[in-house]
Structure 1
Amino acid sequence: MKRIETPFIRNIAFVGHGGTGKTSLGEAILFTCGATSRLGSVNEKTSAFDFEPEEIARQTSYASAVVSVEWNQHKINLLDTPGDGVFQADTRLCMAAADLTLLLVSAVDQVEVGSARAWASAEELGRPRMIYVAKMDKDRANFDKTLAEMRSVWGPDIAPLQIPIGAGDDFKGVVDVLNMKAYTYSGGTGIGTLIDVPGDLEAAAADAREALIEAIATSDDDLMEKYLDTGELSESEVKNGLKAAIAAGSLVPVLCGCATDNAATDVLLNAIVDVAPSPLDAPLPKALNADESEVVLKCDDNGAFAALVFKTIYLEMGKVCFVRVFQGKGDTDLTFYNATQETKERWGQVLLPFGKKLESLSSGTPCGDIFAVAKLKETRVGDVLCKDKMDFKVQTPPVPNACISFALKAKNKGEEDKIAGALSRVLESDISLTTSRDQQTKDHLISGMGQTHIEVAVSKMRRFGGEVELLPPRVAYRECIRSATKRVEGKHKKQSGGRGQYGVCILNIEPQPRGTGFEFVNSIFGGSIPTQFVPAVEKGVRDAMVHGPLAGYPVVDVKISCVDGKYHPVDSDGRSFEMAGRKGAREGMLACSPTLLEPIMTVAITVPDESMGDVMGDINSRRGRISGMASKAGNQIINAQVPQAEVLTYAPDLRSMTGGRGYFTMEFSHYEEVPGNLVDKIVAASKAESDSE
């Protein structure tokens, strides 16, 4: 592809609910533009967008893909995103890199939860939007019903740029209401045949055109004044006004078509070229100086370099990073500063992306373009780049909190290095995956947005040579006491010839308020334990708190005071008093009505109205407490607090209850006592696990 300058570049992110046909639409565009010789298919495993083994096997998108095509002397960078909400961090980075969010909505299923989530993200990120009503050829396809529901959920600033000619088996094409032209399609070429507007659609098309022009006029004071005075706008005023309104987000145009039959693809491409914002028109992200003052970016080849790495993938050539330049240009052989990793790097060639195929661009790219670079060592997905260390930093979309975790276990001993290398590659490619080590359970945890998210990550690890098994994470229970006891004796005495071991400490043990932690108090008076041995008593007591007497979990919220003791001038030493402290603490704890504490999670669950009763009943069955409810974008948000033990596998359960339409966020809140009827069961399971180890 020849170099195309900034005014003629369009960066488009396809978003929407899973199964709305984003990848199929991308394939239709490639074929219509002549970039492929046949119409690619997800089902036939010939898609240029879905090329990773996990995607091919399951016939669904699990990662974004980038393809660049040319249409009418314009370069269009297509960013196809996964529809499953567990990959929303990937989708949001693509939206931040694009200048227009093309939201796909099914003409059969109308506004689904994935589409509502994508709309909310576009609003949050300030991205211009365009809607494509897909699947117009399917049974029960209904454009008018879909339009009405979108306006009901998202507001009135949604205006058709096209209306369909027929629906279902009778879908023939579209009417371009802006130009009052109609097109029919056959043969799957994507190129329409111009016809007169059908007589039964003339009134509807005229009404839609009038509503569209009124919406354009309303978006600009000068246009509104002229429209009120004369009742009309010129062709250039309409086109320029529409383009400006889309870029400002004050108007969202609606198009329609059928990707699998490749119908109405050319008019979609024409709309992208004619009215979608170029990098010069679209809003740019915020950037901050080191002192947190805001920097106003400008899409200018001569500006200070500023870019976002919105995708990273490993191909045969190694690691490949996909970059959107917001300011400056994508020169070859560029040395840059990675502001996220705080290090300098250099790339050589600049590459044109076409799915997993990459073509070298000898002249680099202009400002606003998207390209790929290979073999960067430190740079990973989500990193922001600039020219020098003291330059500003572009703000990136916030990363959603992980809501599910699994423990990783090596399948074969001695392969820890392989696993670490494979895991590092996966983490470099997915900003919403995290790993940690639970200091209490010693589990090596991998955390993400859902079970599918984790399973896909583990599948990639296996491809990279890291054979691991997924295990449910162990709940980090803790132990506490509910009553106090006084003058518990901790005694250590050993005599086996020669110098013996002797130490006695007297302890008072009492509960502390929840969240206080552990406190040791030295209350010795009169020298019953020499001063130099008191730290040894404390060490023994603290050691006893690491593994509580009930089930071996850490002890918290306890105050232990050493009030008295005995010593022997010859046989006493630090080790003896350490042992005495440990024994006294353990025996005293057992006399203080010990019990277990469990972590409580705060969850916010977004579900459609019809699933609300089932989800609320399920939360109650999990010992959860519902704290409130709210409505947002046609869905219900249920706020609750639930024990962690009850939501370890909540992600697939919620998916099952809501048909894939529900999603949730979760974070740790606090610890609470485990109900008495469950304590014995947890204690027995802990002891059985210890015995097996």
Structure 2
Amino acid sequence: MRVYQTNEIKNIALVGSAGSGKTTLAESMLFEAGVIKRRGSVEAKNTVSDYFPVEQEYGYSVFPTVFHAEWNNKKLNVIDCPGSDDFVGGTITALNVTDTAVVVINGQYGPEVGTQNAFRYTEKLGKPVIFLVNQLDSDKCDFDNIINSMKEIYGPKCVQIQYPVTTGPDFHEIIDVLIMKKLSWSSEGGAPKREEIPAEEMDKAMELHAALVEAAAENDEGLMEKFFEEETLTEDELRQGIRQGLVTRSILPVFCVDALKDMGVQRLMEFLGNVVPFVSDMPKVHNTRGEEVEPDSNGPESLYFFKTGMEPHIGEVSYFKVMSGTVKSGDDLTNADRGSKERIGQIYACAGASRIPVDQLNAGDIGCTVKLKDVKTGNTLNGKGTDQRFDFIKYPNSKYSRAIKAKNSADTEKLMAALLKMRQEDPTWVVEQSKELKQTIVHGQGEFHLRTLKWRLENNEKIAVEFEEPKIPYRETITKQSRATYRHKKQSGGAGQFGEVALIVEPYAEGMPDPTVYKFGGQEFKMNIKGKEERDLPWGGKLVFINSVVGGAIDLRFMPAILKGVMDCMESGPLTGSYARDVRVVVYDGKMHPVDSNELSFTLAARHAFSEAFKNAGPKILEPIYDLEVFVPADFMGDVMSDLQSRRAMIMGMDTEAGYQKLQAKIPLKELSNYSVALSSLTGGRASFTAKFASYELVPNDLQQKLIAEHEKETAEDE
């Protein structure tokens, strides 16, 4: 395989809904490029893309697959992305390291929620988009209706390059209005027969051609002038205008294929090779210092590792993009993130599970290597004298969580090692060891996402595991003032223990003034502040601790011990054992003994005094509330709203976005536990959502009583 220069490399992501046919399309592309001799199928479990056992088990893509094709003296690096929203991490990774997105649309259903999600990510990243309507041989395919839907959603930027003469089982002809030819195929697909456009299709073809010429001309002043003068452009000028329109996202070309029958794929490859922008045409990536990094083969050597694959008999396969310079086998590089040294072994061009050894890869190219010592997903390796770091991939928040544990406790350590290793493959699997909840929690993008993780643990790693619903990280606080005094006294021979603490607790709000006087039962307590400490609590909220002891009733040296006693209680609230927050504590009196007083005595006295005062201060339980956005087809809006209201959600607003309804709500975390499953069931998998932590709010009284009763029962069982 020859070495390709930066201006000969194009990086492309295949994205779209599950079932749109991306993996089948990838097979036909590889076949047309001569990389494989025979096309595999998802049903036969022998495709280049879906080669992991879990993918063959479920019949779904789980990981993004990197492959390449050499076409017309160009190198096309292609990443086939999973379609399910549960595996959106692969799509986001691919879109960040490629330059153009081919959005595959299922001809049976038109734009689906997966299409919308993928397009939304291309918008955020400013990536060129080509729409590809697939499965045109389906009885359900209504191409004109799909085009109308696309124009409603994406506007006039959707410009047809092709349209089918007919759809359904008889599909085998396309009119291409860029080259103004009719393309037709035999039942074997492959290379099309090119003919003149028949008379009955000419009016429609000319109308679409004129729209394409006008759209292309709008992206170049010189082309626009020629268009006004001659009302037409040459094929090369059209390509130039379309390429510029792709870069600025002012043109969204629409193509047609039947990937399963290999019809239209060769023509798509021609367009990718001739028209799609090169790496050098695209906006420059920025490093973590905000500096533009030119994809220059003569520049300093810098590699960004965007994906790790764990393959049987090989171990870690590390996939990288050459951000700058040229990489060769044997290069000595430095890991900018970890400080370690690495020697690059053999480098490869990617082809799914296969790898083709190459001598070098230039800036903008994508490749892989194996057996690196200390390189993780997201790391940057640099050549001598270079100090680049890249951190441009941002993953969405998790949507579904489960507590996980090994059925055999002896496998716990092995389980943690496996989870951390698997997170290298998919960074949207997030592992949390919660000290607060006393659980190991795995977070993912949906139920199927975590079910896949469980399958791999049990089948690949041979670790039997079980999931359970994670506990909710409730918080406790108080709603009124209260005071308490506690004396700790213990005498058992030798030195005794003595400490007495009198304190007041009250709710704390940011910016409230320091206390001057309190009244309890007609008695007035004046405050004389000697010291104040504000603590931002690791779990959120604040503790304000004030020393207002006068007359030397308690030595200053015992104040840290009293604060420790208070913090002990804040870490385990009296209602449910949850963290407490937003409390002000004023120590105003106490007693000590010249011999028997020590830190432990005052810690214990403070703990009991605080606990008693907290219980009498109108204690309340707070629950985490999340901001929820649901993207749902209008047909299902009523059902989704009813379901949310049954989950104690508060509807905040509704809007229309890209043909879908966007519903905004606030919802308790407890009610989100199985929401991804419920939403999929309600809408047939056609809706999606995002959730982000918003605040802590008071739980309803009936739920508070239930939670307290459950905690008391658990505590009694533990005793």
Shorter-chain TM-score bucket reads over 0.9
Q: Is the 8 A contact 2:328 2:344 kept in 1?
A: no
Greater shift, 544-553 or 82-91, is seen at: 544-553
TM-score (norm 2): 0.89
Mark the CA change 1:525 to 1:106 in structure 2 (over 3 Å): closer, same or farther: same
- Give the aligned partner of residue 481 of structure 1: 478
| AA of the residue aligned to 1:662 | A
CA distance in 2, matches of 1:570, 1:76: 82
Q: Are residues 1:295 and 2:295 paired?
A: no
Change (3 A) 1:60 1:523: same
SS in 1 for 2:156: coil
Q: Deviations over 1:437-475 (max 9, x none)?
A: 323223222222222223323433442455433222211
Moved more, 625-634 or 135-144: 625-634
Shift of 1:149: 1.5
Shift of the 229–583 alpha-carbon distance from structure 1 to 2, 3 Å rule, reads same
Q: 1:346 aligns with which of 311, 318, 343?
A: 343
CA distance change for structure 1 residues 21 and 505 in 2, over 3 Å: closer, same or farther? same
Secondary structure of 2:261's counterpart equals coil
Q: Which amino acid aligns with 1:397?
A: I
Which stretch of the first structure deviates more once superposed, 5-14 or 36-45? 5-14
Matches within 5 A, 1:234-273: 234-273=234-273
Alignment partners' CA distance in 2, 1:636 and 1:276:
33
Query: In structure 2, do the counterparts of structure 1 residues 168 and 589 end up closer, same or farther at CA, with 3 Å as the change threshold?
Result: same
Q: Of the candidates 491, 507, 510, which is equivalent to residue 506 of structure 2?
A: 510
Alignment of 1:106-505 (within 5 A): 106-281=106-281, 283-288=282-287, 290=289, 292=290, 294-295=291-292, 297=294, 299-315=295-311, 316-361=313-358, 363-388=359-384, 390-394=386-390, 396-462=392-458, 463-464=460-461, 466-486=463-483, 488-496=484-492, 500-505=496-501
Cα deviation per residue 1:615-663 (whole Å; 9 max; x = unaligned)? 2222222222222333322223222222111112222222222322322
Structure 2 CA distance for partners of 1:148 and 1:564, relative to 1, 3 Å: same
**Contact 1:285–1:394, Cα closer than 8 Å, also in 2:** no
Equivalent residue letter for 1:353 = C
389-398 or 191-200: bigger deviation: 389-398
Distance 1:72 1:247 in 2: 21
Q: Equivalent residue for 2:701? A: 676
Measured against aligned partners, the alpha-carbon deviations of 1:275-305 in whole angstroms (never above 9, x if no partner) come to 2223333x04422474x4x3251x4321223
1:666 lines up with 2:697 in the alignment: no
Determine the C-alpha separation between the residues in 1 that align with 2:582 and 2:4.
Answer: 66
Which secondary structure does the structure 2 equivalent of 1:238 belong to?
helix
* Counterpart position of 1:19: 19
Structure 2: how far apart are the matches of 1:479 and 1:505? 23
The CA distance in 2 between the partners of 1:61 and 1:113, in whole Å, is 17
Structure 1 residues 339 and 402, CA, compared in 2 at 3 Å: closer, same or farther? farther
User: Corresponding residue for 2:549?
Assistant: 524
2:698 matches 1:685 = no
Instruction: Give a deviation string over 1:77-98, Cα, whole Å, max 9, x none.
Output: 2210011123223212212222
C-alpha change, 1:127 and 1:689, in structure 2 (3 Å) is same
The SS at the match of 1:631 is strand
Q: Deviation string for 1:310-366 (max 9, x for gaps)? A: 3210112111112222432232222334334454422111112221112222x2223
Contact 1:406–1:473 under 8 Å retained in 2 = yes
Q: Which moved more, 1:302-311 or 1:475-484?
A: 302-311
1:171 is displaced (CA, Å) by 0.9
On the 8 A contact 1:181/1:195 being kept in 2, the answer is yes
Post-superposition offset of 1:221: 0.9
Q: Which moved more, 1:156-165 or 1:549-558?
A: 549-558
Listed one character per residue, the Cα deviations across residues 601-622 of structure 1 (whole Å, up to 9, x for unaligned) are: 2222222222333222222222
Q: Decide whether the 8 Å contact of 1:426 with 1:461 is kept in 2.
A: no
Amino acid at match of 2:588: V
Contact 1:597 1:671 in 2 (8 A): yes
Distance 2:99 2:570 in 1: 56
Find the aligned partners of 2:244 and 2:555 in 1 and give their Cα distance.
83
CA distance in 1, matches of 2:266, 2:693: 50
Q: 1:538 to 1:34 in 2, by over 3 A?
A: closer
For 1:54, the equivalent position in structure 2 comes to: 54
* CA gap 1:134/1:691 in 2 versus in 1, 3 angstroms: farther
Aligned amino acid, residue 98 of structure 1: T
Once residues 243 and 592 of structure 1 are traced to their aligned partners in structure 2, the CA distance between those partners, rounded to angstroms, is 68
- Report the AA paired with residue 126 of structure 1: G
Q: 1:167 to 1:441 in 2, by over 3 A?
A: same
User: Which range moves more in the overlay, 193-202 or 496-505?
Assistant: 496-505
Tell me if the contact between 1:382 and 1:396 (Cα under 8 Å) persists in the aligned partners.
Answer: no
1:136 is displaced (CA, Å) by 0.5
Query: How big is the shift at 1:535?
Result: 4.1
Aligned-partner Cα distance in 2 for 1:308–1:370: 10
CA shift in 2, pair 1:573/1:233, >3 Å = closer
Contact 1:338 1:385 in 2 (8 A): yes
In the aligned structure 2, how far is the partner of 1:498 from the partner of 1:301? 80
Aligned length in residues: 687
TM-superposition CA deviations, 1:156-183 (whole Å, max 9, x none): 1222211112101221221222222222
SS at structure 2 position matched to 1:260 = helix
Q: Give the whole-Å Cα distance in 2 for the aligned partners of 1:242 and 1:340.
A: 40
Q: Equivalents in 2 of 1:594, 1:248: separation in Å?
A: 57
Deviations 1:551-602 (A, max 9, x none): 2222322233333334455544443333222222222322223221112222
Provide the rounded CA distance (Å) in 1 between the counterparts of 2:279 and 2:85: 27
SS of residue in 2 equivalent to 1:168? coil
TM-score by length of 1: 0.93
Most deviating of 497-506 and 98-107: 497-506
Rounded Cα–Cα distance in structure 1 between residues aligned with 2:595 and 2:296? 83
Task: Please identify, of 106-115 and 461-470, the stretch whose mean Cα deviation from structure 2 is larger.
Answer: 461-470
Distance 1:286 1:310 in 2: 14
Output the CA distance in 1 between the equivalents of 2:335 and 2:226. Answer: 49
Q: Is the 8 A contact 1:337 1:389 kept in 2?
A: no
What code does the residue aligned with 1:100 have?
T
Q: Is the partner of 2:602 in helix, strand or coil?
A: helix
Check conservation: 2:302, 2:386, Cα contact below 8 A.
no
2:679 is matched with which residue: 642, 654, 664?
A: 654
What secondary structure sits across from 1:171 in the alignment?
A: coil
Stretches of structure 1 lacking an aligned partner (at least 5 in a row): none
Deviation at 1:12, TM superposition (A): 1.9
Query: 2 CA distance for matches of 1:626 and 1:482?
Result: 27
Distance of 1:245 and 1:530 partners within structure 2: 76
Spell out, residue by residue over 1:217-257, the C-alpha distance to the aligned partner (whole angstroms, 9 max, x if none): 12211111011112222333223333333344332221102
Structure 1, 28-37 or 672-681: larger mean CA deviation: 28-37
Identity score, percent:
34
Structure 2, unpaired ranges of 5+: 511-539
Is contact 1:493-1:503 (8 Å) kept?
A: yes
Distance 1:596 1:248 in 2: 52
| Post-superposition offset of 1:386 | 3.6
Give the SS at the match of 1:63.
Answer: coil
Aligned pair in 2 of structure 1 residues 596, 197: CA closer, same or farther (>3 Å)?
Answer: same
Structure 1 residue ranges (4+ consecutive) displaced by more than 6 angstroms after TM superposition = none
